[in-house]
Chains A and B, each alone.
Chain A
Amino acid sequence: MKLELLINQKNYELEAAPDEMLADALRRLGMLSIRKGCDTSCCGLCTVWVEGNPVLSCTMPAFRAQGKTVTTIEGIQPEAEKFARILAAEGSEQCGFCSPGFIMTVIAMKNELKNPSEQAIQHYLAGNLCRCTGYMGQMRAIKTYLGGEVQ
């Protein structure tokens, strides 16, 4: 089927099979930050925004994004880099493979929650797994990123 998507503020027309997932379609279009880590919707690596909300692109059929705005980390590089520098100062990107999906969720959280508690942050990010860092450094980076806003 023919789809029209607004990805990173650019119009794309693409031919997608009914069972093609958004993650695969985005990779096909060159958004190579999109990774699949689990095949069971529980690792968060493939997180992108649809209409500004974080979704798992590995289990969202591409056609469901028809006519919608999709944002990948390629589309918000300045803000992603701002947080990535803080993350890297903590060493908490480590292998980096889960970072794009993680960062998409962190920035969505920043947009959505005001003055989140540590518990609220953990809850918001519960779907983003990381096997390298043990999460402590990620939390330190988030606190720095949010400024004095973490209770």
Chain B
Amino acid sequence: MKWVGKSVSKIDGVAIATGKPLYTEDLTVPGTLVVKLLRSPHAFARITAIDTVAAKALTGVECVLTHQDVPQVRYSNAGQSFPEPSPYDRLILDPIVRYVGDEVAIVAAVDEKTALAALDLIKVEYEIFEPVLALSSAIDHPSVVHPETDLHCNFPIGLEQQRNIASSHTVEIGDLAAELALCDVVVEESYKTQAQAQAMMETFRSFTYLDQSGRLVVISSTQIPFHVRRQLARALQIPATRIRVIKPRIGGGFGAKQTGVCEVYPAIVTLKTGKPAKVVYERKETFIASNSRHATEFKVRMGASRDGIIRVVDIVGLSDTGAYGEHAPTVFAVIGDKTMPLYNKTKAIRYQGHAVYTNKLPGGALRGYGATQGTFVQESTVNKLAATLGMDPTELRLKNLIRETETSLYYKGKKLGSSSLHRCIETGKSMIGWDAKFPRIEQGNKVRGVGMAVTMQGSGIANIDTASAEIRLNDDGFYTVLVGSTDMGTGSDTILLQMAADVLAADMDQFIIHAADTDVSPFDPGSYASSTTYVTGMAVKKAAEELRDKILEQAASVLQVPAEQLQLDGEQCIDQASGKTVSVASIAAAAVVGPDHRQLSAYATFGSPVSPPPFVAGFAEVEVDTETGKVTLLDFVAVVDCGTVINPALARVQTEGGIVQGIGMALYEEVQYDKKGNLQSNSFMTYKIPGRGDVGTVRVAFEESYEPTGPFGAKSVGEVVINTPAPAIVAAIYNAVGVQITDLPVTPEKIFLGMQAQKQA
């Protein structure tokens, strides 16, 4: 029996694909109140008066809550292990509103129509302030986004409230100025990346009710059940013992649901009314009033010797955390953490800057979590350096990239475990036909170009992410795997069973998996930071090994032979010496009957002191129309090192999906605000995510490495795959027509204007 490495279909695949009622909204009961939120029309204002009399009087309205009705204790919605690095800067409802869409009042009614009508009846008076809308002028702006005195940080994050600085970060190693002076070539560029939307198909939604003991049950489309429990306990000022969070099937997350966006609203309604309540965000609310990727502005300097050895990397800039600091310090740190180690011939490096508050949609987690922005700015600069040196960008990388067992200035002596990145580059070059196509092929007014980029991510958060798993041998001889990770469509429940089945040498249909329910599941931070395969996977593997040993011990005592002599083949424990057997089923049955027996189960916890990076080499081939600036992506090749591939079909589709989300960020997903701070790209009409005709061909290959600290040699794959499209596509466009795009997304207009500027120069 061998399951690891097989393209097993997802265990929930057919059920979810054929429309079975398994998602949050499907699980609501008749009589569930519908919750709607009144949102601020102003980017920055103080509520001076709210009149809810007419709304409360409307037939069918059960509850109208304003800031006067909710606990005034600040908390963070960021889904992070305690103590969270994100500042506690949010109230359920705050007398100050900090962006267009910020919550002003909570309404619950018998149906949606009534709730919406009630929203219209609430009269609010505002004292309007000058909003902070530009990232570049946020620091020391006359308006202070968070003037409150009760904002709390669990530990110093470099927050300077009066200056609109949410967090500060500096890593500087070596003598930057001296090393730059020694470089033959120094290139410099400024970049901007946009606040990409996660745009998962299932918008935010939660359903709450009180159980038989009066406890609050929260069924929610969340990546972070345990963090939500802790957030709700603080926000609602009730003990965590009174809260149960259940995650059903999730219609996508991409990090959006690593923030506790909506749970608190139906929760407080249920607490106030005693009745079941649900909130289902509209698409527009999901765009304007949840969270997005942090927009950034960076200046990068890179110095090298004439023969192409990169000596200095200097990245300085800002990220926009919007109105609240969810994930602000950590996303900012990851931008450097997942870029700086790559080029390890450096003598001096610096990564520095701030996450700043503005009166815009809060930043949050989105697949890549900073590494995407960091990869764009660093890789674009490496491509610029290659052009300046007259070197092939693949050669420049092969010369400079970190290899297995090597260290890096940023690693401070720590060594890289597994990497096949150099092989990934070679394979990608051959798949895209690099040598024949680089840099361009001209055919009249259509010019084709190729470009490339590399990236790394992590696998879980080193020294923080810790997951537990329990596996039981049931009375009927099958296994129950209990975990707290949150499969959001990735297939993690399936691949965790593949691992358990391999260890216990059993058929996968001998297993059931349960996840996640905070009343039942062992602790898991949730599925984010590319953690589940590596962290939860290792916990499952350890638990399975322990359970296997217990079964064999039990068999040894039945057969009266040493346990070392026994082998488990899934159904039988076989004595290698005599050939005698005892079945797992009989051991399972005997374990639950009579005195002095104990059901066989195993519990394991895993946390890692390292976060092994997966790698991708991404290659783009584009065609640019020189008359219009229109760019067509013809082909994208991604070669992935995720260690051992546990499930090739699922890893492949994860990669294809991540690449296409990255293509969206590169080419289509434009974020636009008006002058008053209204997010105008607030629907799929105005915010274009890639459709099936927009992405050319995406081809994926794996170059396996073996990660010694991971389960079966595996690392992660979920996030790393989104990072290369933007810099690779931008490089392909540069190689085609010589226009360097430095602010995302690329648009035909920017290319066209760039070509016009070239002509005039």
Task: Give the B-binding residues of A (Cβ under 8 A).
Answer: 32-33, 35, 37-40, 42-43, 45, 72-74, 77, 80-81, 84-85, 87-100, 103, 122-123, 125-126, 128-139
Contacting residue for A38 out of B7, B198, B683, B695, CB 8 A: B683
Q: Is A95 touching B488 in the complex (CB atoms < 8 A)?
A: yes
Q: Does B18 contact A (CB under 8 A)?
A: yes
Nearest CB of chain A from residue B352's CB, rounded to whole Å: 34
Separation of A131 and B491 alpha carbons in the complex (Å): 15
Which residues of the partner chain B approach A99 to less than 8 Å between Cβ atoms? Answer: 16-19
Extra inter-chain contacts (13) besides given A37-B203, A80-B17, A88-B13, CB under 8 Å? A37-B201, A39-B283, A88-B14, A94-B490, A94-B657, A95-B202, A99-B19, A129-B201, A133-B660, A134-B653, A134-B656, A134-B690, A135-B660
Separation of A93 and B11 alpha carbons in the complex (Å): 11
Q: Is B657 touching A81 in the complex (CB atoms < 8 A)?
A: no
Flag B631-666 by CB within 8 Å of A: 1 or 0 each: 000000000000000010110111011111100000
Q: Does B226 contact A (CB under 8 A)?
A: no
Which residues of the partner chain A approach B15 to less than 8 Å between Cβ atoms? Answer: 96
Which residues of the partner chain B approach A93 to less than 8 Å between Cβ atoms? Answer: 10, 13, 16-17, 489
Separation of A43 and B18 alpha carbons in the complex (Å): 17
* Sampled A-B contacts (6; CB under 8 Å): A32-B26, A85-B9, A91-B491, A91-B654, A96-B12, A128-B692
Separation of A60 and B490 alpha carbons in the complex (Å): 33
The stretch of B69-77, B244-252, B392-400 in contact with A is: B244-252
Q: Is A73 touching B691 in the complex (CB atoms < 8 A)?
A: no
Q: Is B653 touching A137 in the complex (CB atoms < 8 A)?
A: yes
Q: Is B656 touching A129 in the complex (CB atoms < 8 A)?
A: no
Nearest CB of chain A from residue B367's CB, rounded to whole Å: 10
List of 3 A-B pairs having minimum Cβ-Cβ separation, nearest first? A33-B19, A95-B489, A96-B16
Q: Is A40 touching B18 in the complex (CB atoms < 8 A)?
A: no
Which residues of the partner chain B approach A134 to less than 8 Å between Cβ atoms? Answer: 653, 656-661, 690, 695, 698
Given contacts A38-B283, A122-B692, A129-B201, contact A84 B13 (CB under 8 A): yes
Which residues of the partner chain A approach B12 to less than 8 Å between Cβ atoms? Answer: 96
Q: Does B254 contact A (CB under 8 A)?
A: yes
Given contacts A40-B684, A81-B14, contact A95 B200 (CB under 8 A): yes
Separation of A100 and B13 alpha carbons in the complex (Å): 12
Which residues of the partner chain B approach A98 to less than 8 Å between Cβ atoms? Answer: 201, 251
Q: Does B199 contact A (CB under 8 A)?
A: yes
Separation of A93 and B19 alpha carbons in the complex (Å): 11
Separation of A38 and B283 alpha carbons in the complex (Å): 5
Nearest CB of chain B from residue A98's CB, rounded to whole Å: 5
Q: Is A87 touching B17 in the complex (CB atoms < 8 A)?
A: yes
Separation of A96 and B19 alpha carbons in the complex (Å): 8
Which residues of the partner chain A approach B490 to less than 8 Å between Cβ atoms? Answer: 94
Q: Does B444 contact A (CB under 8 A)?
A: no
Q: Is the interface of B mostly helix, strand, loop or mixed?
A: loop
Q: Is A38 touching B19 in the complex (CB atoms < 8 A)?
A: no
- Interface residues in B134-162 (C-beta closer than 8 Å to A): none
Separation of A23 and B520 alpha carbons in the complex (Å): 35
Separation of A90 and B653 alpha carbons in the complex (Å): 8
Q: Is A96 touching B249 in the complex (CB atoms < 8 A)?
A: yes
Which residues of the partner chain B approach A73 to less than 8 Å between Cβ atoms? Answer: 18-19
Q: Is B685 touching A136 in the complex (CB atoms < 8 A)?
A: no
Contacting residue for A100 out of B7, B19, B203, B282, CB 8 A: B19
Q: Is A84 touching B14 in the complex (CB atoms < 8 A)?
A: yes
Which residues of the partner chain A approach B609 to less than 8 Å between Cβ atoms? Answer: none
Given contacts A37-B201, A38-B684, contact A129 B689 (CB under 8 A): yes
Given contacts A81-B18, A88-B10, A134-B658, contact A95 B252 (CB under 8 A): yes
Considering residues B25, B490, B647, B684, which has the most beta carbons from chain A within 10 angstroms of its beta carbon? B684
Given contacts A96-B489, A100-B17, A129-B201, contact A39 B282 (CB under 8 A): yes
Separation of A104 and B489 alpha carbons in the complex (Å): 20
Which residues of the partner chain A approach B650 to less than 8 Å between Cβ atoms? Answer: 91
Which residues of the partner chain A approach B653 to less than 8 Å between Cβ atoms? Answer: 90-92, 94, 132-134, 136-137
Which residues of the partner chain B approach A135 to less than 8 Å between Cβ atoms? Answer: 656, 660, 690, 692, 695
Separation of A103 and B617 alpha carbons in the complex (Å): 33
Nearest CB of chain B from residue A42's CB, rounded to whole Å: 5
Which residues of the partner chain A approach B652 to less than 8 Å between Cβ atoms? Answer: 91, 137
Which residues of the partner chain B approach A95 to less than 8 Å between Cβ atoms? Answer: 16, 200-202, 249-252, 488-489
Separation of A10 and B490 alpha carbons in the complex (Å): 36
Q: Does B693 contact A (CB under 8 A)?
A: yes
Q: Is A91 touching B683 in the complex (CB atoms < 8 A)?
A: no
Which residues of the partner chain B approach A89 to less than 8 Å between Cβ atoms? Answer: 7, 9, 649
Residue of B nearest to A73 (CB): B19
Nearest CB of chain A from residue B184's CB, rounded to whole Å: 41
- Interface residues in B104-123 (C-beta closer than 8 Å to A): none
Separation of A87 and B9 alpha carbons in the complex (Å): 9
Q: Is A97 touching B26 in the complex (CB atoms < 8 A)?
A: no
Q: Does B21 contact A (CB under 8 A)?
A: yes
Q: Is A131 touching B689 in the complex (CB atoms < 8 A)?
A: yes
Separation of A36 and B649 alpha carbons in the complex (Å): 28
Q: Is A85 touching B14 in the complex (CB atoms < 8 A)?
A: yes
- Interface residues in B1-34 (C-beta closer than 8 Å to A): 7, 9-10, 12-21, 23, 25-26
Which residues of the partner chain B approach A72 to less than 8 Å between Cβ atoms? Answer: 19
Q: Does B284 contact A (CB under 8 A)?
A: yes
Separation of A77 and B199 alpha carbons in the complex (Å): 28
Q: Is B13 touching A96 in the complex (CB atoms < 8 A)?
A: yes
Separation of A39 and B283 alpha carbons in the complex (Å): 6
Separation of A74 and B19 alpha carbons in the complex (Å): 7
Q: Is B684 touching A91 in the complex (CB atoms < 8 A)?
A: no
Separation of A32 and B23 alpha carbons in the complex (Å): 9
Separation of A137 and B283 alpha carbons in the complex (Å): 26
Separation of A98 and B200 alpha carbons in the complex (Å): 10
Considering residues A32, A88, A134, A136, which has the most beta carbons from chain B within 10 angstroms of its beta carbon? A134
Contacting residue for A97 out of B252, B649, B693, CB 8 A: B252
Which residues of the partner chain A approach B201 to less than 8 Å between Cβ atoms? Answer: 35, 37, 43, 45, 95, 97-98, 129-132
Nearest CB of chain B from residue A139's CB, rounded to whole Å: 8
- Interface residues in B581-596 (C-beta closer than 8 Å to A): none
Contacting residue for A43 out of B16, B26, B249, B684, CB 8 A: B684
Flag B653-683 by CB within 8 Å of A: 1 or 0 each: 1101111110000000000000000000001
Separation of A96 and B491 alpha carbons in the complex (Å): 11
Q: Is B17 touching A138 in the complex (CB atoms < 8 A)?
A: no
Given contacts A89-B7, A91-B10, A100-B18, contact A131 B252 (CB under 8 A): yes
- Interface residues in B486-528 (C-beta closer than 8 Å to A): 488-491
Residue of B nearest to A93 (CB): B17
